[in-house]
Structure 1
Amino acid sequence: MMRIGISKDIHRLVKGRPLILGGVKIDHDLGLLGHSDADVVLHAVSEAIYGALALGDLGTHFSDKDPSNKNLNSEVIVKHAVKQMSELNYEVSNLDVQIVCESPKLAPYILKMRENIAKLIFTKIENISIKATTNEGLGPVGQNEAIEAVACVLLKEKN
């Protein structure tokens, strides 16, 4: 059986925080505001996996009201989602991620993000697609006030 999940995450850009996307530190003067490290890519990936498995949303598993999740490395969240996936006898067939931001330009970081996510979800890099685009100046993302990520994952039963 195949299962599909989709998720979107958005966080506000602020001074004084690191910018981490796909588990990779990005050289930029602004970072994302959030209870955890605010990695919108890993949040969207994790929640897409939860969704594909009908296990709720990110907040169901990692509440922003829980002080133990303060500044949490989002790789912990992905590992939890992958553990749930494995326990239900599924694995990633492919993952497609779109990152929407006006700046910085992400092309130099895409390969590293793909490599990192492939390791985290135990799949080949060929199964991971990450694209970056802008919002053409529209809305909070277009005004460089936020970064957004959308993830779509296809899961398959393990052999």
Structure 2
Amino acid sequence: MSIRIGQGFDVHAFTDGDHIMLGGVRITHDRGFAAHSDGDVLIHSICDALLGACALGDIGLHFPPDDPQWKDCCSAIFLQHCYSLVKQNGFIIGNIDSTIIAEQPKIKPHTQNIRQSLAEILDIDVDNISVKATTTEKLGFTGRGEGMAAQAICLLTSKA
């Protein structure tokens, strides 16, 4: 059996808006993400983890931010595509562990919905997905409320 590990990271600044997308879940917030797509930092970091584990580059290679077809695109489409590439390369997801880094909005009330959403997008068991959140104790750009970051790590195993 072959095992691969991948890690991903993404960040987006806040801008005017009334919600953000995290893990495919719409969360009411007094700001939105400044992004070409819907700016879902969690999904973007998971995409990079999956792609990295298969040595297939990063999300920007597959979905260039200057390509108009991806303008305001739902990031679930990116994640489904990245997982299809994982499967084409003979792997399945063992697990995904992720951390959202932000002062606001509070993530804990949404973690179960986010886990369920990601499980549905990927068609895997929700028990294989971990979503955590932390702050930076008001330090740095996330601490000042200027944006949000997310990191993810995945374990892939060969199908055979």
User: How many pairs align?
Assistant: 159
| 1:7 alignment partner in structure 2 | 8
Distance verdict in 2 for CA 1:65–1:17, change over 3 Å: farther
**How big is the shift at 1:16?**
2.2
The answer to whether structure 1 residue 130 and structure 2 residue 144 are counterparts is no
The answer to whether structure 1 residue 67 and structure 2 residue 52 are counterparts is no
**How big is the shift at 1:122?**
2.2
| Residues 116-125 or 92-101, more deviating | 116-125
User: 2 CA distance for matches of 1:85 and 1:17?
Assistant: 34
Unaligned runs of 5+ in 2: none
Kindly report the root-mean-square deviation, in angstroms, between the aligned alpha carbons of the 2 structures. Answer: 0.9
Q: How does 1:1-159 map to 2 (within 5 A)?
A: 1-16=2-17, 18-159=19-160
User: 1 CA distance for matches of 2:96 and 2:69?
Assistant: 29
Give the TM-score, by structure 2 length. Answer: 0.97
Identity %: 38
**How big is the shift at 1:17?**
5.4
- Structure 1 runs (4+) greater than 2 angstroms displaced: none
Give the TM-score, by structure 1 length. Answer: 0.97
Contact 1:90/1:156 (<8 A) preserved: yes
What amino acid does structure 2 have at the position aligned with 1:83?
A: S
Contact 2:12/2:34 (<8 A) preserved: yes
Contact 1:17/1:32 (<8 A) preserved: no
